[in-house]
A and B are shown apart, each in its own frame.
Chain A
Amino acid sequence: MKAVGSRLLQLVVLLGTISTTLFLLLRLSGDPAILLAGEGAGPETIAAIRIEYGFDKSLTEQYLIFIWEIIRLDFGRSLVNSQPAFGFVLQYLPSTLHLTFLAIFFNSVIAIPAGVWLGAKPNQRRRQILSTIVSVTQGTPAYVIGLVLIQIFAVWLGWLPSIAGTGTWAWVLPVATLAFALAPNLIRVVAASIEDTTRQDYYRTAKANGAAPNILLIKHSLPNALLSTTSLLGAQFAFLLSGALITEFIFAWPGLGLILVQSITNLDFPTIQATVFVVAYLVFFVNLIMDQIFRFADPRLRRSQL
């Protein structure tokens, strides 16, 4: 309970920082009314916006109103389609969540067994395979992988669609892009953790008690190695929720990333704010869930305060 409390406090600090930064950024970039009105707007329009958004009030007053709106999850209406920004952004959440879950799932299914295989017997050949994977793929950004996959499977072979909303097959390339982007790092961490456990004293104890190699791996290496792997998976999950935006953009995937890119392009401030807050909440909940998973998996954390 104490851990949840301290996480909640972190959330308050986090949201406070984000909202203050947003508030200041909007006002630092000149007259926000001119910014919101867009290029070529007449003085009457600007004046109307100034009153509508309350820019004529004092900064303190504006800030308090802003915070109150945020607490009520009222970010104003989108400048593009006039829908309430928060509800508008929420429509895109399930699609991003789906993509994230599938990518994490396939990423784990590929990377964990591969990492265990590489780390369990660190001989010359497996080391070479590992360092090749890492050096080739870790330097490749997701959008390059995405574009290469589109070029091969959508353009040359014509097997898979490259645009979202065209049926089940449309999921394949975005999920593959994200899974391939994340897998090398996970493989590397799993392999390193497994190898590290073989140097631990408890591993030697198990060996001194006659444990066979497969028992050593399953009962002694894996439970310990997966602990460090879990924290990376959590970070990757949070990264996808907030950072899959380029991949979503490439595949025209109707998710939070695409909305964020579009709203920035359109200078649609209410939508930008709503998206940023939705992502912040998501990352917070992912971290909260990760805490609980750790508490469950690592007996050393069960009674301590995180």
Chain B
Amino acid sequence: MSNAIEIKNLVVSFPTPAGYSAVVRGINLTISPGDRIAIVGESGSGKTMMGLSMLGIQPTSAQVEGEILIGDVNMVSAPDAVARRLRGNYISMVFQEPLTSLNPVRTISSQLSESVRRHNSISKKEAEERVLEVLTAVGIPAPKERMKSYPHQLSGGLRQRVMIALALINNPQLVVADEPTTALDATIQAQILDLLRSGMGDAALMLITHDLAVAADVCNRIAVMYAGNIVEQGPVAEILSNPKHPYTRGLLSAIPKFDQARPALNPIPGSPPTITEVVSGCRFASRCAYADAQCTASEPEFINNVACFHPVTGAIK
């Protein structure tokens, strides 16, 4: 298998009174085995919906078009019975809210071994050994005792470790982590990021985040999403030092610089278009300092890792 996943022209849309409106608008993305890519964007940019549709677990009202290829299986059109064998096995997901994402009335061990035994024909005892092994690997202290715990008996950080253990338990090729540290406090956040950086084994990681610092910390590649499109992608160093898309530059200069006596906030003016809003041309044009007539006339193609008619060069001041 050459790629962990290959996404071709992915469109995810939802029914609105005015017909279907797309929240993901034609994304192309390839993730290689062992790759670490961050999907960075504001809330509402479609990054979570993209992640969910990669596993085929988008809300039932969503309409998904395009191709999501895992080997020769297209997750968009595959029958549920086929897609199910890949979920939690080949591709898995870590969610934002570790408390509500675990079943409150079942023990940690029962939830984890359920997933092991679904994808492997092994005995209950072997499954429990595997659970113990993976709980130890994600750094849960006293894992043997913790196995018998219920989710509410664990702290937020431990719960998120359990979620990661659940995602890793069948040695997947790709883990999608959707804002895995957003609900945690800062010190726990750092521990979980450590785990994502060094504890993922051979799995490729797609980290969905709104935080560029987190993205740069954990990943080697960044894709920036804006209003349903990937507008720029590249290696972390390249994106941080030499961003080409005006939106990426805006994001980077919006980060307050604490080396100055009084860090000034540099927000990007305006707000993204709503999903029902009809926009002609580039969806960032109305907020962009470089926009001209061409930008509102047609939508820029994604060429040379950026979707912009006027890619900018040089470092940010």
- Count of B residues near A, CB < 8 Å? 31
Q: Given contacts A201-B95, A204-B57, A204-B95, are A209 and B115 in contact (CB under 8 A)?
A: yes
A224 to B150, CA, bound (A): 14
Please tell me if the beta carbons of A207 and B100 are within 8 angstroms of each other in the complex.
Answer: no
Contact partners of A227 in chain B: CB under 8 A = 105
Residue of B nearest to A197 (CB): B103
Say if the beta carbon of A252 comes within 8 Å of chain B.
no
Please tell me if the beta carbons of A224 and B100 are within 8 angstroms of each other in the complex.
Answer: no
Contact partners of B104 in chain A: CB under 8 A = 202, 224, 298-300
Please tell me if the beta carbons of B101 and A300 are within 8 angstroms of each other in the complex.
Answer: no
Q: Output the least CB separation between A117 and chain B (Å).
A: 18
Question: Interface of chain A, helix or strand or loop or mixed?
Answer: helix
Please tell me if the beta carbons of B150 and A300 are within 8 angstroms of each other in the complex.
Answer: yes
Contact partners of A213 in chain B: CB under 8 A = 80
A206 to B118, CA, bound (A): 11
Contact partners of A136 in chain B: CB under 8 A = none
Say if the beta carbon of B114 comes within 8 Å of chain A.
yes
Say if the beta carbon of B97 comes within 8 Å of chain A.
yes
A227 to B103, CA, bound (A): 13
Contact partners of A188 in chain B: CB under 8 A = none
Please tell me if the beta carbons of B84 and A297 are within 8 angstroms of each other in the complex.
Answer: no
Please tell me if the beta carbons of A208 and B97 are within 8 angstroms of each other in the complex.
Answer: no
Contact partners of A223 in chain B: CB under 8 A = 103, 105-106
Please tell me if the beta carbons of B103 and A202 are within 8 angstroms of each other in the complex.
Answer: yes
Q: Given contacts A208-B55, A208-B92, A211-B118, are A202 and B100 in contact (CB under 8 A)?
A: yes
10 interchain residue pairs of minimum CB distance: A209-B88, A210-B87, A201-B100, A210-B88, A299-B150, A202-B103, A201-B101, A209-B115, A208-B93, A210-B84
**Cβ-defined partner of B89 (8 Å) among A201, A202, A210, A297:** A210
Please tell me if the beta carbons of A208 and B88 are within 8 angstroms of each other in the complex.
Answer: yes
**Cβ-defined partner of A200 (8 Å) among B85, B87, B100:** B100
Q: Output the least CB separation between B118 and chain A (Å).
A: 6
A224 to B55, CA, bound (A): 25
Interface of chain B residues 21 through 69 with chain A (CB within 8 A): 55, 57
Residue of B nearest to A200 (CB): B100
Contact partners of B153 in chain A: CB under 8 A = 299
